[in-house]
Structure 1
Amino acid sequence: MPSCFYCAGTLNFRNIIKLAKAPHPFSPSILVVSVHYFDSSTPPYSSTLMEDALVSIVLERLASVLEQQVTLLVGVKSEVDNLKSTLQSIRAVLADAEKRRFSEELVKVWLERLKDISYQMDDVVDGWNAALLKLQIGAENPCIPKPKISSCLPSHCVCFRQVLLRCDIGIKIKHIRKQLDAIANDRNQFNFVSSSTIQQPHRRITSSVIDVSQFCGRDADINIIIGKLLGGSCQESSSLCIISIVGMGGIGKTTLAQFVYNREEVKAYFHEKMWVCVSDPFDPVRISRDILEALKKESSGLHNLEAVQQEIRTLIANKKFLLVLDDVWTEYYELWEQVESSLKGGAPGSRILVTTRNENVSTMMGTAYKHPLGELSKELCWSLFSNIAFKGRSREKVEELENIGRKIADKCRGLPLAAKVLGSLMRLKDKKEDWESIFNNEIWQLDVIEKHLCTPLLLSYYDLSPAVKRCFSYCAVFPKDQILSKDRLIKLWMANGYLDSRESTEMEKTGGDYFEDLVSRSLFQDCDNDDEGDIISCKMHDIVHDLAQYLTKNECFILEIDDEKEVRMASSFQKARHATCLISTESVGFASTIHNLKYLHTLLATGVVNPDLFKHLVCLRALDLSGNVLFGELPRNLGKLIHLRYLNLSHNDSLKELPETICDLYNLQTLNVCFCWELIKLPQGMRKLINLRHLEFEYISLMLPKGIRRLTSLQTLTGFPIIGDHFRRDVCKIGELKNLNSLTGGLVISGIANVKDAEEAGEAELKNKKHLHQLELEDFGRLASAASKGVAEALQPHQNLKSLKISYYDAATEFPSWIAASSLAQLKKLEIVCCAQVTCLPPLGELPLLESLRIEGMKRLKYVGGEFLGSSTTAFPKLKHLRFYDMEEWEKWEVKEDDEEEGRSVMPCLHSLTTVGCPKLESLPERLLQITPLQVLDIRVSPTLQDRYHKETGKDRSKISHIRNVLFYPQMMTSL
């Protein structure tokens, strides 16, 4: 069957490549240049909204051109108008064209031509906008040093450049219009049926994300696997005992392994437990490093296989361990042997649990017990489907939809993943006719699709909006089983233009909504949450990842560079748009290989990268070079990447300087230099990056240049170090924060001792930053007491603040007055660290939403009493965690009993209480111990308290006997 490309309406024109003359794709087996994608024959079905989404974005670009340049040269405006008109006429027939693309070869070729010309339009218009922006910023920043070669040009040359630029765009648009006219004329031969609009499906409004983990339906399988792990024939054997779960994709192998892995009896039986996602390719170094990191529960800096494995042997020696190797594909014993050799020193009873689709893998690894996992029964499949689809519906609605729902559930054919995804889809549909439409969809009749993909996944995909389809398909650029950071993913979507910025809603908010939509449909899973319960990361099931790869074949790639196959790769993937490159230090041919991918919009490169690449990959929108160890400094030609929106240079230990030319990246939205420990300053021209939204760094001594105040689009500014030299004109002072009122998330202001006085501090206008939720004020240092207090008063944040940390507030004897309920009504977390001269705590008990309070290093505090609780009816109404550290002079802590008689409540939600390094504290308030629902009491380096509450000899031990967990240093936790 002939080769073809399938991309069903998910990505915009930046992500779709012309393949009318493409060679036959490689087989899906691992190549020496490992190119991972889903290989298939001609797909039978496609989204009717894909080309519509593509053309819509082209129209948006052209509209932007007209809005920004109303004084176009004669003829250029008419060319742009003609382009818009032609695109609109083409858009009207796309729905019919999509229906016919797989039954009529000429229609498919016509659509591919349209995609290709759309890419050209995108690059031309985006490049033109970048050039115009450069002229604008150059005119607004005459004081910024210019290259010597252009310093002699008169100022009126700006106007001349604009004329040349418009001539250039006119020529390019005219050339594109001729090609588009030919495409438009060719459509007449197909007699397409026009439609003015694309009908969007009716969606039921819902906000809850279904937790499907409880609907496993595998109790018998769980018990069998646990029995094999905790007993079985190889119990006393000194060799490795391997147990395999074997089944088709989407059958629930990983879910079953997760249930077993997290059972209490399994946790109690093994000394060490490790979970490693293996996937394809099988890389012994990476897998061994992942095992080591799972053992140490921290990152490892080791990269040498022997060094990694020697540490593994040391850590598991004579210990009973459980290692889960999830999603193993390789059948090569030579590869498995390299990992296995380090795992033979564990104690008898150690187990390796493997999940795989391939029985040959199980045999190759020497499995002692192979557990075949079959489909769910019809009733279990219905139970899983209905628990999701009918969540929150009335009994009447369930009765109305049950019959058609059972018919739909039958189509899942016992696959748990299909039931979850299809249930998530139907949860969004309220009308019976919508359910019937899904049941009667023609896709169920297309047998060829079932050889490659899970049909319910395609149905769920087709139900996405065009914008969300683009975002979903983009995820094919990531390796299987990779944890997807929500924040990073949204920034990459934004860099590639997938998030609409025309509305008042911020692009980041739109991206968050898209992310949540994919989670709610079970297309993203295994989500991790932060302390607020917000999702911060997820994974894609490997079957879902297959779908994303299937939709972006020959467009999104994962490349493992190998010099032997460089020529073949370069000729086959030269029109790739998005790539992850896994590059080893031995890949000396990397430069010429990657340079041929000149149309790349995304490059995520892990390993050694040749700096020479920047002059070749001029279309890049997103570049991630995090973890590259060879960059001492970046080449100046980085500034030629005029389309670049996302630049991640984090974890580059040797990076010492950023070139000034980085400030020519006027479209840049995200710059990440976190953990670049040698980097001490940013370029002076940073003020030119007026589109910068996220500036991320960790090191507090990084010098910010003057002019940051111009970056009014900034939402992320992780730190603001204040440098002490007031006589340097290039030093960024605290007043630069004044106009940055779009800041969100967290901000650390350090070096506050270098602020001259309260007036200067007030210039920051923190009170106006209503989107800022986390604030750290550090190092008031050498300021005199009055000055320190005045500066702190002037740094009052907005009342929306949720987390506050004040540290090294050394000179002042009292806290700023705004640490009060009226000013911090939304505060949930408060840390007060090293406030050495303060002798009295403020009335923190009046903070209505405070959940976590940490007080540390108040060297002169001796007494805590009613002033700490405040005067509200309930003191600390939401407080869950209270911690005191290094309070050397603290002697008494009182909560008056008469408060109880007056009906006053104190800390009704307190869960944990910690005192560490409080040597003089005599006792804890009896009322807190007796009345609050305290579950954890942690007393360390506080000898008086330890004596008072000692388990055997303490006179007040009975007062804490009801507390479930008590911690005494150096003892470990004791369950009572």
Structure 2
Amino acid sequence: MAPLQIAGWFVGTFISKVADLGILYVKNQYEYRDVKGKLKQLEKNLRKIQAALFEVDKRRITNPGLEEWLWDLKDSVYAVEDVIDGFEYNLLEDIAKGKNQLFFEEKSKHRAKIKNKFIDTLKLLTFCKEDLNQLDCAIKKFTELVDELGKLLKVVELNVATNKKDDAEIPNWRRTISPVKPRPLRGRDDEVAKLKMLLEIGNNSNPDSNSFSLVSIVGPGGIGKTELARLVYNVERLQFDIKAWVCVCNNFDVRRLSLEIIESAAIHRHVGLRSINNLDEILKLTDLHSISNLDEIQKILSECLKGRRVLVVLDDVWEESVANWENLCTAFRSGHKGSRIIVTTQLESVAKMMGTKDIVNLDGLDDKINWEILKECSLGDQNLTEHRRLERIGWEISQKLGGSPLAAVTVGRVLKYDLKEDHWRRILHKKICEIEEKEDRMEDIGQDLINELSSRSFFMNEKRKEDKFVIHAVLHELADCISDGEYFRLDGEYEGNQPIRIPDKARHIYVTADNLVMFSKILCKKENVRSLVVAGDLSNGIPKSDFVDSLKEVLDSFKCLRLLILSVLGSGLPKAIGGLKHLRYLEIPGDVITEWPESFCKLYHLQWVNLKMCSKNLSLPEKMNRLIRLRRLIPSPEAISTIAGVGKLTSLQELKKYHVQLKEGFEVGQLSAMNQLQGKLCINNLQHVESMEKAEQAMLHTKEHLSKLKLHWDYKGEEIIQHHKWEGAEKVIEGLKPHSNLRKLSISGYKGCKSPTWIKNKFLSNLEHLKLCNCSSWKALPPFGELPLLKILHIRSLSSIDKIDTMFFGIDRDKICVNPQREKKVNNVSFPSLEELLFDDLEKWNAWDGLENGFELFPCLRKLLIWNCNNLRGPLPLPSFLRELTIVLYPPSSIFPKDMPPTSMFKIYTDNIHLIRDCLEERNPVLLCTLEIHGIFVLRALIEKDWFFRLNSLKQLVLLNCGTYNPPELQNISKRCTCRRLRRQTSRGQRWPKVPSRMMHRARC
């Protein structure tokens, strides 16, 4: 049973894919009418078989003949896919050689839409005789299978024709119920109050409707109409004798609705108000569903409601027929005065048709309220400080939902499935109607499948290896049983004459290197193998030449391979690999590859190349850029950067380094169409880019999957950067605007004076790490304090910076002057997420301005490092939670504030006595936790001034290059402070004698 169902499911899915591929080739074959007719016939047969398989799976039919037929069908589907794959190979070859161009229009869902040029290419595609012969064989085989299927289905008495479902049936997903305890409604207080009031006082404006009044709740789908009705339906103080809840949908069948009202009334009656025993009697004596006469059912309903105060909810009404509505209302008129009918509908015309005077209109919720709903459904009780980035993305998603609480709940549950930023961003960039669709990128599909199988404990993470998964032995046996010989392992030890049988169904083979040599003749007979894994090394008794010959024979036979993994090559890359035109995945050891066969660059379907243990000097073939389907190439980054015309690899997802050169094929514009790049990208030698127009050709703003970007200029030995050169650099960097998703940015060697506009205006709101290095002409720092998620900021060798002011903090000085004593608010925080700040080699920096009141600076800063900023003067903005302060200055400075926070813990590294003796206020040293002293002269000076006696908070003392100097004052240091740890380093690694026993002592070279 299980193998049959699994096979049926697999073949059905596979057929759908192959049929769609066939249609793609059929639609525009004007010049090859015979081919078009054949493909249409093939597609027709595929659809027939798919419909039959759907019925087989739905009815769980088991039949030995049908099971055998399914395996034959599977073989045939594989064969058809090979034929269509061959057609596509010819197309890709033409494109790779430049005969035709393939244009892709990238959408937010990453779906490549083939445009007019592709249609033109199909028209010009030449079908060789071999392709047409294979197509004829496939069509003939499928025709036979369809005929055989008809006979089998007659045996099992299965009608293949699509069974039409009863139109009256309401889909389960549209059915609604009245819960005992409805969920609280957010943002609907006014609507709830209005609806309760209408139910209490009723509507007596219509003299013909004395027995009941109508209230309509009108609004678009998912806006909360049903939830509002549920809430008032369960209000205890709104007492009714009988309550009935009916889901109407688009099937306004008066008979069905009447029956459901009777049944619902029997359950939701209010016991104790009036005698309703006759309702029990009616239900006991009458088989309601056997009554076909509508008049009889209406009489029973009238009897049930007679003289009683009734509340009926008709949920999700679409019917606009007055006649149908009047037929249903006939029974309602027998109810007691004060009865109420609540109707929920998306159509105001329905409410008007019913004659409703009281309408409660529902509009979209406020964005903040809808965000709270989405946050509750996605993050729940998660620690929000750990998901600040997700919060920002979630807020953007909530603004796209139009205030719909149902959309917020639905999308929230999809987001909760995976609390990773990539998943949330994929949802952000989708249309709401596409949320439930699978992604087209195979990496996204694969990740979703891995997550799903892991959540069901089918896969388990291997310990200490996050990217490795294992499967339980029991589940492995089950999978092996279900595959029924399609997967075969040849990994045992066999004698030379021992017979071995490989199943005819085998499509995926795992074999050791030794067994490949031993059983190569048997393997060569299995021509339809699609996956081959050769594992292990050769034993000492088998010559490498034998392995090379055996591998060549096997590869010459396995023309249908999609996946090839070789753990050993013997010598070089076999030329036979170039004949595997269907190959998608190749994994081989790269350390033995000295040259590439020319045929390798004809593997136009190849998507993934993994070169294990390849050398840094590995050179790739000259025509590597013809592999236009390539998604991953995993040698060293330097090797990929040597590919001329790498921009043709538009599906490539990883290009860690790209070196701009002045020769053709290495322009920055090669990056233009490479929109699938993800992870890190470093662009070197940007001094070779001449203008903003050239820089814009890189289209960095379209690289939404990039998380790290490094922009590097290298002027190499040019002593003076002329005015026109740095002015040109400013235009170039302006044209290198990245995507707003970027998380890490590094700019080095930039010689412009001004900041690019895209770094000034909060555009990079997702940035976490920012590094500026060796930008010697940069004169003013942009408002980095406005970046909400920035955690690490390193600024090195910006030699033209002379001061840091309010612009750096993102503070508007005019606003501060208006009300300097205003209370702190969220938008008054500068650098709200910054944890580490480094300034290094800012030789002209002399002042840190902009420390006015009214703004909170660095609330999360833990580490402040200032190196070689020798002209710096004035106070430092030290937050109360600072954990490390590192300052290396050589001339005397006075930079510490008088009100240094008392709860801080500081590390001060210095080789200048003036920094300790003159810069720190008399009371400041008591705050020091860690002190590192360079040189014996500094140590002597501190001891002479009795400076150590004031270090009451000292916990660690580090002495560097102090020789064997051992003054008696240090012997009593542990008595005067809390120091428990001494680390000492000398040029020769000598130990310091007579160290106090209470102090930890480590010598370090």
* Length-normalised TM-score, structure 1: 0.52
Q: Distance in 2 between matches of 1:972 and 1:544?
A: 57
Letter in 1 for 2:604: Y
Kindly indicate whether the alpha-carbon contact (under 8 Å) linking 1:566 and 1:593 is maintained by their aligned counterparts in 2.
no
Residues 1:827 and 2:778 are matched in the alignment = no
CA 1:594/1:104 → structure 2, altered by over 3 Å: closer, same or farther?
closer
Residue 809 of structure 1 deviates from its aligned partner by: 0.9
Letter in 1 for 2:695: A
Alpha-carbon displacement from aligned partner over 1:356-415 (angstroms, at most 9, x marks no partner): xxxxxxxxxxxxxxxxxxxxxxxxxxxxxxxxxxx979x9xxxxxxxxxxxxxxxxxxxx
- Structure 2 residue corresponding to 1:720, chosen from 641, 658, 667: 658
- Structure 1 segment 651-690 matched on structure 2, within 5 A: 652-673=590-611, 676-690=614-628
Partner of 1:190: 156
- Structure 1 residue corresponding to 2:93, chosen from 109, 126, 134: 134
Residues 1:766 and 2:700 are matched in the alignment = yes
Q: Distance in 2 between matches of 1:698 and 1:804?
A: 22
Partner of 1:842: 782
Kindly indicate whether the alpha-carbon contact (under 8 Å) linking 1:929 and 1:959 is maintained by their aligned counterparts in 2.
no
Kindly indicate whether the alpha-carbon contact (under 8 Å) linking 2:775 and 2:798 is maintained by their aligned counterparts in 1.
yes
CA 1:166/1:117 → structure 2, altered by over 3 Å: closer, same or farther?
closer
CA 1:605/1:687 → structure 2, altered by over 3 Å: closer, same or farther?
same
Which structure 1 segments of 5+ residues have no match? 10-15, 17-47, 143-157, 205-390, 396-429, 431-485, 488-500
- Structure 1 segment 170-249 matched on structure 2, within 5 A: 170-187=135-152, 188-194=154-160, 196=162
Residue 96 of structure 1 deviates from its aligned partner by: 5.2
Residue 963 of structure 1 deviates from its aligned partner by: 12
SS at 1:849 equivalent: coil
Residue 737 of structure 1 deviates from its aligned partner by: 1.9
CA 1:740/1:108 → structure 2, altered by over 3 Å: closer, same or farther?
closer
* Length-normalised TM-score, structure 2: 0.51
- Structure 1 segment 588-627 matched on structure 2, within 5 A: 589=518, 595=524, 598-608=527-537, 610=548, 612=552, 613-625=554-566
Moved more, 94-103 or 796-805: 94-103
Partner of 2:927: 958
Alpha-carbon displacement from aligned partner over 1:214-268 (angstroms, at most 9, x marks no partner): xxxxxxxxxxxxxxxxxxxxxxxxxxxxxxxxxxxxxxxxxxxxxxxxxxxxxxx
Kindly indicate whether the alpha-carbon contact (under 8 Å) linking 1:137 and 1:688 is maintained by their aligned counterparts in 2.
yes
- Structure 1 segment 391-406 matched on structure 2, within 5 A: none
Partner of 1:881: 835
Partner of 2:307: none
Partner of 1:110: 69
Letter in 2 for 1:928: L
Kindly indicate whether the alpha-carbon contact (under 8 Å) linking 1:124 and 1:169 is maintained by their aligned counterparts in 2.
yes
Moved more, 670-679 or 171-180: 670-679
Residue 140 of structure 1 deviates from its aligned partner by: 0.3
- Structure 1 segment 239-318 matched on structure 2, within 5 A: none
Partner of 1:72: 32
Partner of 2:357: none
Partner of 1:781: 715
Partner of 1:735: 669
SS at 1:800 equivalent: coil
SS at 2:878 equivalent: helix
SS at 1:57 equivalent: helix
Letter in 2 for 1:688: R
Residue 700 of structure 1 deviates from its aligned partner by: 2.9
Kindly indicate whether the alpha-carbon contact (under 8 Å) linking 2:741 and 2:766 is maintained by their aligned counterparts in 1.
yes
- Structure 1 segment 645-656 matched on structure 2, within 5 A: 645-649=584-588, 652-656=590-594
Kindly indicate whether the alpha-carbon contact (under 8 Å) linking 2:606 and 2:627 is maintained by their aligned counterparts in 1.
yes
CA 1:677/1:181 → structure 2, altered by over 3 Å: closer, same or farther?
same
Partner of 2:858: 907
Kindly indicate whether the alpha-carbon contact (under 8 Å) linking 1:757 and 1:790 is maintained by their aligned counterparts in 2.
no
- Structure 1 residue corresponding to 2:44, chosen from 60, 66, 85: 85
Kindly indicate whether the alpha-carbon contact (under 8 Å) linking 1:768 and 1:798 is maintained by their aligned counterparts in 2.
yes
SS at 1:619 equivalent: coil
SS at 2:623 equivalent: helix
- Structure 1 residue corresponding to 2:810, chosen from 858, 870, 874: 870
CA 1:136/1:866 → structure 2, altered by over 3 Å: closer, same or farther?
closer
Letter in 2 for 1:798: P
Residue 777 of structure 1 deviates from its aligned partner by: 1.7
Residue 764 of structure 1 deviates from its aligned partner by: 2.0
Kindly indicate whether the alpha-carbon contact (under 8 Å) linking 1:599 and 1:619 is maintained by their aligned counterparts in 2.
yes
Alpha-carbon displacement from aligned partner over 1:542-588 (angstroms, at most 9, x marks no partner): 5554544443352335553656479655x32564333455658x986
Letter in 2 for 1:655: I
Higher Cα Rg: structure 1 or 2? Answer: 2
CA 1:917/1:674 → structure 2, altered by over 3 Å: closer, same or farther?
farther
CA 1:676/1:592 → structure 2, altered by over 3 Å: closer, same or farther?
farther
Partner of 2:896: none
SS at 1:92 equivalent: helix
Residues 1:554 and 2:520 are matched in the alignment = no
Which structure 2 segments of 5+ residues have no match? 102-122, 175-375, 381-405, 407-421, 424-435, 538-546, 813-826, 885-902, 931-951, 961-980, 984-998, 1001-1005
Kindly indicate whether the alpha-carbon contact (under 8 Å) linking 1:706 and 1:733 is maintained by their aligned counterparts in 2.
no
Residues 1:635 and 2:582 are matched in the alignment = no
Letter in 1 for 2:49: I
Partner of 2:991: none
Letter in 2 for 1:6: P
Q: Distance in 2 between matches of 1:620 and 1:682?
A: 23
Percent identical among aligned pairs is 23
Q: Distance in 2 between matches of 1:657 and 1:506?
A: 32
Q: Distance in 2 between matches of 1:525 and 1:965?
A: 45
- Structure 1 residue corresponding to 2:18, chosen from 41, 58, 76: 58
Residue 136 of structure 1 deviates from its aligned partner by: 5.8
Alpha-carbon displacement from aligned partner over 1:725-758 (angstroms, at most 9, x marks no partner): x3x54x4221222233444443221233443455
Q: Distance in 2 between matches of 1:128 and 1:178?
A: 21
Kindly indicate whether the alpha-carbon contact (under 8 Å) linking 1:79 and 1:174 is maintained by their aligned counterparts in 2.
yes
Kindly indicate whether the alpha-carbon contact (under 8 Å) linking 1:62 and 1:125 is maintained by their aligned counterparts in 2.
yes
Q: Distance in 2 between matches of 1:889 and 1:630?
A: 58
CA 1:893/1:671 → structure 2, altered by over 3 Å: closer, same or farther?
farther
CA 1:505/1:6 → structure 2, altered by over 3 Å: closer, same or farther?
closer
Q: Distance in 1 between matches of 2:658 and 2:95?
A: 28
Q: Distance in 2 between matches of 1:699 and 1:945?
A: 47
CA 1:201/1:906 → structure 2, altered by over 3 Å: closer, same or farther?
farther
Residues 1:576 and 2:506 are matched in the alignment = yes
Letter in 2 for 1:677: S
Kindly indicate whether the alpha-carbon contact (under 8 Å) linking 1:559 and 1:581 is maintained by their aligned counterparts in 2.
yes
Moved more, 107-116 or 874-883: 874-883
CA 1:106/1:765 → structure 2, altered by over 3 Å: closer, same or farther?
closer
Letter in 2 for 1:86: N
Partner of 2:637: 699
Residue 643 of structure 1 deviates from its aligned partner by: 0.9
Kindly indicate whether the alpha-carbon contact (under 8 Å) linking 1:83 and 1:177 is maintained by their aligned counterparts in 2.
yes
Alpha-carbon displacement from aligned partner over 1:458-506 (angstroms, at most 9, x marks no partner): xxxxxxxxxxxxxxxxxxxxxxxxxxxx99xxxxxxxxxxxxx999844
- Structure 2 residue corresponding to 1:746, chosen from 680, 692, 700: 680
- Structure 1 residue corresponding to 2:749, chosen from 793, 809, 825: 809
Residue 907 of structure 1 deviates from its aligned partner by: 2.2
Letter in 1 for 2:53: L
Letter in 2 for 1:707: G
CA 1:941/1:587 → structure 2, altered by over 3 Å: closer, same or farther?
farther
Q: Distance in 2 between matches of 1:958 and 1:941?
A: 15
Q: Distance in 2 between matches of 1:703 and 1:755?
A: 17
SS at 2:600 equivalent: helix
Residue 857 of structure 1 deviates from its aligned partner by: 5.5
Q: Distance in 2 between matches of 1:392 and 1:744?
A: 29
- Structure 1 segment 537-552 matched on structure 2, within 5 A: 540-541=471-472, 543-552=474-483
Q: Which has the higher contact order (CA 8 A, sep 6+)?
A: 1
Residue 116 of structure 1 deviates from its aligned partner by: 2.5
Letter in 2 for 1:700: E
Letter in 2 for 1:57: K
Kindly indicate whether the alpha-carbon contact (under 8 Å) linking 2:584 and 2:608 is maintained by their aligned counterparts in 1.
yes
Instruction: Give the RMSD, CA atoms, in angstroms.
Output: 5.5
